[in-house]
Amino acid sequence: MNVLQTPAATNFRTAVRAYCAHVESRQSISPAVWLPRVHVLLVELYAAGLQLPSIEPGSENANPEYESQGDWQRLFDDFGQAFGRWNAYRLVFDPYDTEETEALYGSLADDFAEIFGDVRRGELHENERGDAFPNDVMWEWRFAFESHWSRHATSALNALGSLQFQQYATAMPESFGTWTGASAT
């Protein structure tokens, strides 16, 4: 069976499309309304990533390339402006590194832009090469999840949980900015 026709691949594809559609529709919704929905979608995307099988690529064509800096910068700037004071958060990069005492900071703008870039690229790779190289595409999806965007997702989920349940940011919509060049409703 083609690995891209398995239930795990179907679930992942569905989660990717829902997450990307929500990111792309952000300018039609205020950030205070957008965040609780992306919180749910990010949990679903992460869960779908966990279910991807760990396989070897089927050829030497597997290539976990990165998105252009321009695409990332556009998303990063838009998210950063919209999240305003809620963009930066404290984080622990490695919870098992007991020698690390310096405070580290994450950025929701960076997290959402990086996740979007990784999963969108995986979707494009499937469209371009999925029929010929299904194992390569699955390997790329899993590699990107394990090596990069899973850490962004878990960091963002921690920050979103704090925003939604401790900081009550959704009850203070005036504390958010607006999307770049858009009038959010």
CB 159 within 8 A of CB 28: no
Structural class in CATH, domain 3-175:
mainly alpha
pLDDT in tens, 93-114: 777 888 877 878 999 999 999 9
What are the backbone dihedrals phi and psi of residue 16, each rounded to the nearest 5 degrees, phi first?
-60, -45
pLDDT in tens, 22-80: 999 988 888 878 888 999 999 999 999 999 999 888 777 676 565 556 688 999 999 99
Long-range contacts of 100-106 (CB under 8 A, 24+ apart): 106/155, 106/156, 106/159
**Residues contacting 11, CB < 8 A, separation 6+:** 48, 51
Q: Which among 147, 156, 149 is positioned nearest to 109, based on CA atoms?
A: 156
Low-confidence winner among 67-76, 77-86, 122-131 (lowest mean pLDDT): 67-76
Compute the distance between CA of residue 185 and CA of residue 28 in angstroms, rounded to an integer.
Answer: 6
Compute the distance between CA of residue 16 and CA of residue 123 in angstroms, rounded to an integer.
Answer: 8
